[in-house]
Structure 1
Amino acid sequence: MSGFALFDTAIGMCALAWGPQGLAGVQLPTDDGEAATRARMARRFPALRESLPDEMAQHAIAAIQGLLQGGHDDLAHIVLDMRGVSEFHQRVYAIARRIPPGQTRTYGEIAQELGDKGLARAVGQAMGHNPFAPVVPCHRVLAAGNKPGGFSAGGGALTKLRMLAIEDARPNGMASLF
């Protein structure tokens, strides 16, 4: 069974799409509300119809809702359908998924883990194209100097900071960002 569904969270109306291979995408809230989120999902996944979530999707929804309410589930148990995601992006996302709630890394640190600190900009671009936020927690990846950097979800960097505040994020063992 495949489809997409909208669901409410502490930061607004989110959505996810699923299929037999796992989650195909997650949508954080848009600035324009529920109708815009629904329309965006229909454009992103034209072959899917809005429907009741299957058991796997229900589990993912509950886990995402919990995280966005301050839970500490790292969501690593959620299976992602990575078809169509480049091998480089998959490597970046795998590293990002290991960042626990409440902690952060920088683009440069992820680039260094990939073997080349010069890849920091490419890491940032991968985060900007992340189709699975917050399951792939791009909000936990910061620019140099632990600055928020950009964020492609509705609300931009303010949404990123809000999500980090919910997690009481502490970059690299420092005091809270807030």
Structure 2
Amino acid sequence: MSSGTDSTRTESVVAALFDTAIGLCAIAWHGDTVVRFQLPEASEEQTLARITRPFGGAPVDESEPGPAIVAAIAGIRAHLDGSLDALRWIELDLRGVPEFHRAVYAVTREIDPGRTLGYGDIATRLGAPGSAQAVGQALGRNPIPIVIPCHRVLAADHALHGFSAPGGIGTKARLLEIERAPGFGEPMLF
């Protein structure tokens, strides 16, 4: 994962839509690194508009993805089909992302599928106890959900409060259910 803070990007960014178990997602990349991922919006046009917005709404390049991006798409599809993979092997480019956000994303990527942490837990792991709100703000700006699994981070009461992705907390609950996280998608005994 690139950790540089240089926000200039000389490589052209390419985006593509692809079908998954939760709907039509989008991925943007340059070379062999993923720069954005988009969960399904209400329409194909909206999904495409959302993923290209940070690049000035540029039209989608029709270039075929290389082997690394084909593998990333296949890995994301398989994960969303229930073949759980932490997806840590996918190379990300986070140039231009603030340092604190990158640190939050690094800790978040270490949460295994089916597990969760609280915002405060992440803050503590960063050596910044008391910064749970800042952690939440960083995760709310996550450019690469699923691969940076912000859905695995819960409030202190383990409830689902707010989720900035399309579908809100319903999407978050669905992702946790796919990952068989305890308490999500299981019948309750009481």
* TM superposition score normalised by structure 2: 0.86
Residues 25-174 of structure 1: pairs in structure 2 closer than 5 A: 25-30=36-41, 32-46=42-56, 47=58, 49-51=60-62, 52-170=64-182
Question: Is the partner of 2:45 in helix, strand or coil?
Answer: helix
The answer to whether the 8 Å contact 1:2/1:48 transfers is no
Q: Please state if 1:19 is matched with 2:30.
A: yes
Matched residue type, 1:50? D
Distance between the aligned counterparts of 2:141 and 2:172, measured in 1? Answer: 15
Matched residue type, 1:24? V
How far apart are residue 48 of structure 1 and its match?
Answer: 6.3
Match of 1:5 in 2: 16
The answer to whether the 8 Å contact 1:21/1:81 transfers is no
CA RMSD, Structure 1 to Structure 2 (Å): 1.5
> Structure 1: 5+ residue runs without aligned partners?
171-175
Distance between the aligned counterparts of 1:90 and 1:48, measured in 2? Answer: 28
How far apart are residue 39 of structure 1 and its match?
Answer: 1.9
| 1:102-150 residue CA offsets vs partner (Å, 9 max, x unmatched) | 0000101001111122110000001100000010000000011111121
Matched residue type, 1:177? F
How far apart are residue 155 of structure 1 and its match?
Answer: 0.3
Matched residue type, 1:35? E
> Structure 2: 5+ residue runs without aligned partners?
1-11, 186-190
How many residues are matched?
172
The answer to whether the 8 Å contact 1:3/1:50 transfers is yes
Question: Is the partner of 1:111 in helix, strand or coil?
Answer: helix
The answer to whether the 8 Å contact 2:119/2:136 transfers is yes
How far apart are residue 56 of structure 1 and its match?
Answer: 1.5
Shift in alpha-carbon separation, 1:48–1:97, aligned structure 2, 3 A: farther
> Which sits farther off after the overlay, 155-164 or 19-28?
19-28
Shift in alpha-carbon separation, 1:77–1:48, aligned structure 2, 3 A: farther
Distance between the aligned counterparts of 1:43 and 1:90, measured in 2? Answer: 21
Distance between the aligned counterparts of 1:63 and 1:21, measured in 2? Answer: 14
Question: Is the partner of 1:134 in helix, strand or coil?
Answer: coil
* TM superposition score normalised by structure 1: 0.91
How far apart are residue 98 of structure 1 and its match?
Answer: 0.5
Matched residue type, 2:175? M
Matched residue type, 2:61? E
Distance between the aligned counterparts of 1:48 and 1:91, measured in 2? Answer: 31
